[in-house]
Every structure is written in structure tokens, then in C-alpha cells.
């Protein structure tokens, strides 16, 4: 599975390591991705999602059911 947040759609970004001598080499900025289980009361079941820290804040703010609905609409979850 790719390292993409299933709520926000965030992915790793690409940038450069910059040394003291100003040499540049490619690197990746990974997101803070975690595997979490959430209880969905309307379906009476547990759902496991890969979410980043911002995704957890979104779920806390709008609720798991609304977050799942939005991510299905955007095509992040099947």
C-alpha cells in the first residue's frame, strides 16, 4: 500500500539535502502516517485507516462518518 493519508490525501514531498558546502542531493519528506482503527457507530463496525496527524485532527473536528464520506467522494477510499 502506498504511503498516502486516506483522509487528507497527503503524500511524501521531494526536496534536497543541502550540505554546509551547498551540495544538493535529493531526499523525500515523508508524512507522519499511522495505522488507526475507528469505530463507526452507524455501521456498528471498526474501520482501519492509514491517516496522518492532520487526518486525525480532521476526524476529531468533523467526525469519522463525515470524514469517511468526504474521502470516498474524493476517491481516497473505496
CATH of the domain at 20: 2.30.170.40
Residue 67: domain span:
13-74
Tens-digit pLDDT string for the chain (78 aa): 689 999 999 999 999 999 999 999 999 999 999 999 999 999 999 999 999 999 999 999 999 999 999 999 999 998
Under a CB-based contact definition with an 8 Å cutoff, are residues 23 and 11 in contact?
no
Q: Number of structural domains, the chain?
A: 1
Task: Decide if 27 is inside a domain.
Answer: yes
Residue 30 lies in a domain: yes
Residue 23 lies in a domain: yes
pTM: 0.83
Residue 6 resides in a domain? no
- The residues facing 45 across adjacent strands are 40
Could you tell me if residue 47 is inside a domain? yes
Amino acid at each position: 500500500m502506498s504511503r498516502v493519508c486516506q483522509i487528507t490525501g497527503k503524500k511524501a514531498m521531494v526536496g534536497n539535502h543541502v550540505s554546509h558546502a551547498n551540495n544538493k542531493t535529493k531526499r523525500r519528506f515523508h508524512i507522519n502516517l499511522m495505522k488507526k482503527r475507528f469505530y463507526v457507530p452507524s455501521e456498528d463496525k471498526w474501520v482501519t485507516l492509514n491517516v496522518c496527524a492532520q487526518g486525525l485532527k480532521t476526524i476529531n473536528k468533523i467526525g469519522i462518518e463525515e470524514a469517511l464520506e468526504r474521502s470516498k467522494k474524493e476517491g481516497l477510499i473505496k
